[in-house]
Structure 1
Amino acid sequence: MLSALYYPYMSIGSRDVLKNALLLWDKVEVIVPSLYVSLRRFERTWPSESKEEIKLLREAEDLVVSPRIPTGEEQVKAHKALEEMANTGELAALAQKKLPEENGVLFSVDSDKFLHETWDMLRRRKIVHWSGLRRDREVPPAIGLLLMSVLSDICAGTQIQMITDHAEAYAWLAKQRAGILGSQYVTGVNLCQVEPELDRLVALSLGVVGGQNIGLRELVDMRKREANGRTGDYRAMRHRYSKTLAAHVARIMKEARSEADLQELDRQFRDDVEQDFSDLMCELKVAGRNTLISGSVIVSTILAKGGVTEPIDGLAALALRVGVGIIPLVGAWNHYRGARRDVLKKHTMSWLFVAKQRLVCKF
């Protein structure tokens, strides 16, 4: 999966989700009503951030976040799923449940996201409240989370990864639904638990390359280079990294049944990415060494030995000073770039390595 769908809100209010989006996904969709004007209309405020930071956050959003309007078919599927829950009594029971630390504020949902029949069904069961003058419908928080989870699951289908920064609330919801239905809640298989797993794996892999301080600015710049690149190498590196993490999350969901299982799987993941990064660094050194000792750039040895003690601007000036000609030096540089590019294209950790180095050259 190379795309994601964020829920339950219409705008991403988490820096971590935005950072992961830039690191991993081609795009992140957010569900919006049919009459939306732009994401700007719905974006959350960041009261504690400076104007510069807000600008950066919006820049990140523009790169990866896109609106997703549910189709009529998807709304019909959501209605049928919710109607079945209503008929079994699950919705009524869930409406009585209170989220931990709930402050009594109702959950607002734009009416256009669901069919009129869906709202009418909820109204008849006294689950939804509205004055008739507003587009938003207000429901108990547990019901609001459920509504957006059902719709998001349908919109995501099988090829888009659902992500949320409300994993704890959705884990609580899953437990409540299991209790109402008389079934057992199994940790490790709920979709809401994917984002925390990704957060941990991203942190582990960033630690391997010493990239804990890579911030939004560096990632925004990386994605701009990817968008403007002519070769597609940046995207290929990001896809390789994203697929590696997705494969490990799938393994966690399938195999982890205890904290000890999770710790062992994390250890294996850390060992794998450490080995990949070590191999990457060794191969880059070999590529540089092979270029350094080639006949065309034997002048590098002269420079390293102190044969030229003054700064020389540009390859042309260097060629004149040493007397080897500009063409051999350009050829050697292109050879190095090609060898380096070939190495980077093979490794999972290349994406984070390039992000840390803040490279400006084109691969």
Structure 2
Amino acid sequence: MDKTLIVTNDFPPRPGGIQAFVHSMALRLDPGRVVVYASTWRDGSEVAAFDAEQPFPVVRDRTTMLLPTPRVTRRAAALLREHGCTSVWFGAAAPLGLMAPALRKAGARRLVATTHGHEAGWAQLPASRTLLRRIGEGTDTITYLGEYTRSRIARALTPEAAGRMVQLPPGVDEKTFHPASGGEAVRARLGLSDRPVVVCVSRLVPRKGQDTLIEAMPLILADRPDAVLLVVGGGPYADELKRLAERTGVAESVRFTGAVPWQELPAHFGAGDVFAMPCRTRRGGLDVEGLGIVYLEASATGLPVVAGDSGGAPDAVLDGETGWVVRGGEPGEAAERILALLGDAELRRRMGERGRKWVEDAWRWDLLAGRLTALL
């Protein structure tokens, strides 16, 4: 029976968007036809417990960062032969896709490499651009998240490899993220039941734009003094954001939850009236949003969204239908759109319903996993 070897540095229990993407896809493939080769993580016991729960074998490399070294390439080739795998899926094309020629020589007939936001950055630098071109030549298909990442990555590939690109974004579990996800209970617990809530669910890093939301709060509060910004997530920018809320004089109207367990995230989305994450591009285009799955999770929860214009974030919004796209780093624009939504319940309902339907029609995991299966 033909099997697929998934080669990835990004796999749970290590947290992150790529990790969740690869794992969610793997769970929707035939478990009898999947083998995962992944890096390990900091807590060996946690990794072992996680791997034991998976419906497919997970083989961990001893390194915490899986790179296409000769040793790792030999191990991947050995696993390919041992398990009778005829296809390979690289969970992130760069840099693991550089192993493609060796794995084809070892017997792989189909090699698929999935790109995320960082490959768009690779495409801008001469050395990494050359490596990306090699990955395109060595694989059968490179996938992309949306039009932004496709256009950037395609420039680094040969015309033939660019012509073989196929869209494969992460999906949304519409049965987990839905309007009745438990938001009222979160609002009640936080004492926000009678207040308009702007929610942002994301890792706390400068690119995501939580600072822009905090800077927008004085404008929002001037019109809606009872409004509150609910910042959900943890990350290295947390302390700076708290200091910014103090300096801006809006600390009483900004709530930080810290990191929230994954199973509680749908309810925290549902605690908002509006979802906002005005992300921005940084470092000359090297730090950019690949897609922004949180916008789609918010849409599935029935919320209108306000997104930044960084990278592929606009691909996750139907501008004017499921929400609006604003310039990242512009508090005035963010405040204007947020206030328009807070002041119009019918508009919120209409955009939320349109977003929910869009997710059901185009972004469900089973649809996208079927696309990956066909590629493999």
TM-score by length of 1: 0.31
Counting helix residues as a fraction of each chain, which structure ranks higher? 1
Counting strand residues as a fraction of each chain, which structure ranks higher? 2
Considering only CA atoms, is the larger Rg found in Structure 1 or Structure 2?
1
Tell which has more relative contact order, 1 or 2 (C-alpha 8 A, sep 6+). Answer: 1
TM-score by length of 2: 0.31
